[in-house]
Structure 1
């Protein structure tokens, strides 16, 4: 998902922060609830959250995972009488800035170029919504790839500091399903589950596998990773 705060200058970020107040949430706490009126936005300072949406049967589907620097709840705030289209749940301890709807709208009016960031955000959410029917295994792979992107810092490999149980929570599947997918990823030399973490030897290989699965919606036809040894064929 597009990181909204990264698009702002230092002066713009400081101005936006001054309009709000600091808030914090515990793991599992709901930051926003689907259907509620949009009366504020949140800017995540630290921690991770998941965005989920319920279908007509009441079953929740994972839409996305968001972290530091990302903006939440702006769509309901820019719409007249807008309501939350999805729920946001803390997946770790979260620190954020809460900004009232009127203050946020005034900020956008003062900085009209930032509307482009809002449009990119909407596009990202729509694309995520298209993936609601992912099979559980695909959701786990997508969650691992997203978390890997967040912790890679440009390096060839990455260490994702989350347990299988936490990854299952991100993907909204059972721990057994997450375990099964991580076993597959080990066999395919894409990721290796260790104590309270997942080691990804080559970020490029994992991302290529995730992108391929998301485009084909076929989980079983996974590419074999380089395992972090030698020259990666993906650059």
Structure 2
């Protein structure tokens, strides 16, 4: 198994698709370790990767026992990394919220809240990667101000990410469908769409960008500026 050469940028998704796959979990953990300490996880680190993957999947689960097992997996994974000689440093965690932030906040994931929320809530905030439906449910309950893509938009994003992971060019129709869906749900979600597209590490060509911008202009001038600023800032 080869280590990732660049940090992963993970979107706000859960459930099926690449986010539920073992391969994706491994890529996530590799990026996590690299971001936190520069450690490149190779074959000898695979046992640690498994434990860290289990920790990420279990942190958002319901029940004290599930959280206890996740914390144990986290501790064991870090211990194995140190035994293997990886310069891995994990910040101490006193609560589940701190675990989520310390373990996944360094991956570059940002969650944007609605424009009509309180001023303090308008700033981007690092949070956990949604590795499962339970994680998504946990964050929805804890942070009700967060916006999550609709099912249709989520499906489109997952297909785009699968294309990107396979080295394929992004589909113009999928990009248009995604933005159209987001705009139907409200201008406030345009920023989420931009973030998701950049998380997939895709760069749509000018024709696709023009289509997006037409859709955005039909909604609001401020959305057009936000679209370009968000996409450029997150790529």
Same fold (TM over 0.5): no
Instruction: Point out the structure with the larger helix share.
Output: 2
Instruction: Point out the structure with the larger strand share.
Output: 1
TM-score (norm 1): 0.28
